[in-house]
Chains A and B, each alone.
Chain A
Amino acid sequence: MERRLKLQKEAEPEWARRISEHPGCEGIFSCLQCGACSGTCPLSIYMDFGPRRIIALVREGFRTAALSSETIWLCASCYACAVHCPRQIHVTDIMYTLKREAIEAKLYPRRLPIPVLAQEFYRAVRSRGKNAEFWVVLRMAVKSNPLILLSMIHTGWALLRTGRLSLHSEHADGIAEIKRYLDMREVA
Chain B
Amino acid sequence: MSESNGTVRIGVYVCHCGTNIAGIVDVKALTHYAAGLPNVAVSRDYKYMCSDPGQDLIRQDIRDQHLNRIVVASCSPHLHEATFRNATRAGGLNPFFVQMVNIREHDSWVHTNHAEATLKALDMVRAAVRRVAHHEALEKARVSIRPEALVVGGGIAGIHAALTMANAGKHVYLVEREPTIGGHMAQFDKTFPTLDCSACILTPKMSAVKNHPNITLWTYSDVTAIEGYVGNYNVTITRRPRYVREDLCVGCLECLEGCVYKQAKVPDEFNMGLSKRRPIYIPFPQAVPQTPVIDPETCIQFKSGKCKKTCIEVCGDRHAIDLYMEPRTEHIEVGTVVLATGFQTYDARRSPYYGYGTYPNVYTALEIERLVNASGPTGGEVVLRTGGHPKSVGIIHCVGSRDENTNRWCSRVCCMYSLKLAHLLKEHTGAEVFNFYIDMRTPGKGFEEFYQKLLSERVHFIRGRVAEVTDASLHSSEEGRLVIRVEDTLAGFVRRIPVDMVVLATGLEPRADAQEVRRLFNITCSNEGFFLERHPKLAPVQTFTDGIFLAGCCQGPKDIPDTVAQAGAAAAEALALMDAGCVETEPNTAYVMEEACCGCKTCISVCPYHAISFVDEKQVSAINPVLCKGCGTCVAACPSATIRQHLFEDEQIFAEIEGILEYA
Contact = CB atoms under 8 A, between A and B. Distances in A.
Interface in A17-74: 32-40, 44-45, 50, 52-53
Contact of A52 (B353, B403, B405, B489): B489
Contacts, number: 58
A53 B490 CA distance: 11
Interface in A65-87: 84, 86-87
A44 B487 contact: yes
B124 interface: no
A88 to B, nearest CB: 5
A39 B353 contact: no
Interface in A148-185: none
A88 B463 contact: no
B405 A39 contact: no
B494 A87 contact: no
B438 A34 contact: yes
16 contacts: A35-B486, A35-B489, A37-B487, A39-B486, A40-B467, A40-B468, A44-B487, A50-B494, A52-B487, A84-B353, A84-B467, A86-B404, A86-B405, A86-B465, A87-B404, A88-B404
A34 B353 contact: no
A40 B488 CA distance: 12
A8 B312 CA distance: 81
Nearest to A45: B494
B404 A39 contact: no
Interface of A is mostly: helix
Interface in B450-503: 463-468, 485-489, 492-494
A127 B466 CA distance: 45
B405 A50 contact: no
A47 to B, nearest CB: 10
Given A39-B487, A40-B485, A45-B493, 9 more contacts: A32-B439, A33-B489, A39-B494, A44-B494, A45-B494, A50-B487, A86-B403, A86-B405, A88-B404
Contacts of B402: 32, 86
Of residues A33, A39, A40, A44, which shows the largest number of chain B Cβ atoms within 10 Å of its Cβ? A39
A35 B465 contact: yes
B493 A39 contact: no
Interface of B: 353, 398, 402-405, 438-439, 463-468, 485-489, 492-494
Contacts of A45: 493-494
Given A45-B493, A45-B494, A84-B353, A36 B404 contact: no
B409 to A, nearest CB: 12
A84 B468 CA distance: 10
Contacts of A87: 404
A44 B464 CA distance: 14
A131 to B, nearest CB: 33
A35 to B, nearest CB: 3
Interface residues of A, number: 18
Contacts of A37: 487
B224 to A, nearest CB: 39
A59 B485 CA distance: 26
Contacts of A36: 464-467, 487
Nearest to A32: B438
B505 to A, nearest CB: 14
Given A50-B487, A52-B487, A86-B405, A38 B353 contact: no
A24 B398 CA distance: 25
Nearest to B408: A86
Of residues A33, A36, A84, which shows the largest number of chain B Cβ atoms within 10 Å of its Cβ? A36
B485 to A, nearest CB: 6
A51 to B, nearest CB: 9
A116 to B, nearest CB: 27
A37 B494 CA distance: 11
Contacts of A50: 487, 494
Nearest to B402: A86
A36 B494 CA distance: 10
Nearest to A30: B404
Contacts of A44: 487, 494
Interface string A70-110: 00000000000000101110000000000000000000000
A86 B489 CA distance: 16
Contact of A88 (B353, B405, B468, B489): B405
A53 B489 CA distance: 9
**Which are the 5 A-B pairs with shortest beta-carbon distances?**
A39-B467, A35-B487, A34-B465, A86-B403, A35-B464
